Homo-oligomer: A and B are copies of this chain.
Amino acid sequence: MSPPASPGEAPIDFWFDFASPYGYFMSSRIDAIAARHGRRVRWRPVILFAVLRALGLPPPMGHEAKRTYMQHDFERSARFLGVPFRRPEAFPAATHHAARAFYLLERSDPRTAMAFARTAMRAYFTEGADLGDPMQIAQWAREANPQLGEAADFAARLRADETRALLASAVEEAVRAQVFGSPMIVIDGERFFGVDRLPQIEAHLEGNL
C-alpha cells in the first residue's frame, strides 16, 4: 500500500546501502523533500560492494587517503545536517540481511519496509547495534509490523532463496542504473550522487535546475 503518486509521475528512487553514513543522512531528508513536491520515494537498498564490483569500481573507503577524509567527514556532515550520529565500532557492516528484510517487508507494504529501514539505520548509526544479526533484524521488523509473527521465523526467511532473489534483483537493477555510490537519488532519469546534492535535488524538484 504505497502512497499514491501524482498522475504520470514516477516515484523518486533512493538507492543506498544500510551501512552507508551518507545514505543514512539522506534517509533523514528525502521523503520530506519529495512530499513537499507531491512526489513519493521508492527506497532501494543494495549491497554497494556488490554493485561496485559488478561495475568494476573499487570500494569507496578502499584507499587510505579517502578513508581518512571520510572518517572525519561523517561526523562533520552529521553535525552540519543535524542528524544524530556515532560511528559504529563495527564499521562497515555486512548489510545483506538488512536489505533482504527490507524487500521481504516491502512486498506486503512499502511503508513498513521504510519504517524498518529507519529503525535499523538509527540503531546502527547512533547506538552501534548489530546490523548483521538476523535476529536483531527480525526484531526491528516486528517493531515496524507487530503482526509479523515470530522473530525466529522471519530471521529464517531471510536465508530463503526467494528472499535472496529479491535482493539480487535490486542489485542487478542498481548495476543497470549505474549506481556507483550511496546515496544515489534518481528523479525522472536525472541522477544525483551524494547527500551534498540535497540543494540541487530541491532546485530540480522546484523546476529551477
Question: What residues of chain A have their CB less than 8 Å away from a CB belonging to chain B?
Answer: 55-58, 63, 65-66, 68-69, 72, 76-77, 79-80, 178, 180, 191, 193-194, 196-197, 199-200, 203, 209
Q: A80-B203, A80-B209, A203-B80 are in contact. Are A63 and B56 (CB under 8 A)?
A: yes
Find chain B residues with CB under 8 A from A58 CB: 58
Of B57, B69, B209, which is within 8 A of A180 by CB? B69
Find chain B residues with CB under 8 A from A56 CB: 63
**Interchain CA distance A63-B54 in the complex, whole Å:** 13
**Interchain CA distance A56-B66 in the complex, whole Å:** 11
A20 shortest CB reach to chain B, Å? 17
| Secondary structure call for the A interface | helix
**Interchain CA distance A199-B65 in the complex, whole Å:** 23
**Interchain CA distance A65-B191 in the complex, whole Å:** 12
> Is A200 touching B80 in the complex (CB atoms < 8 A)?
yes
> Is B69 touching A209 in the complex (CB atoms < 8 A)?
no
Q: What is the copy number of this chain in the assembly?
A: 2
> Is B196 touching A197 in the complex (CB atoms < 8 A)?
yes
Beyond known contacts A56-B63, A76-B200, A199-B199: 18 more, CB 8 A cutoff: A55-B63, A55-B65, A57-B63, A57-B65, A57-B66, A58-B58, A63-B180, A65-B178, A65-B180, A68-B178, A69-B180, A72-B191, A76-B209, A77-B200, A79-B209, A80-B200, A80-B203, A194-B196
Question: Which 4 A-B residue pairings sit nearest by Cβ, starting from the closest?
Answer: A196-B196, A65-B178, A65-B180, A55-B65
> Is B69 touching A193 in the complex (CB atoms < 8 A)?
yes
Q: Could you say which of A55, A65, A196, A203 has the most chain B C-beta atoms within 10 Å of its C-beta? A: A65
Q: Give 8 CB contacts A-B under 8 Å.
A: A68-B178, A69-B178, A72-B191, A77-B200, A80-B200, A80-B209, A196-B196, A196-B197
**Interchain CA distance A197-B178 in the complex, whole Å:** 24
**Interchain CA distance A58-B63 in the complex, whole Å:** 10
Find chain B residues with CB under 8 A from A72 CB: 191
**Interchain CA distance A58-B194 in the complex, whole Å:** 20
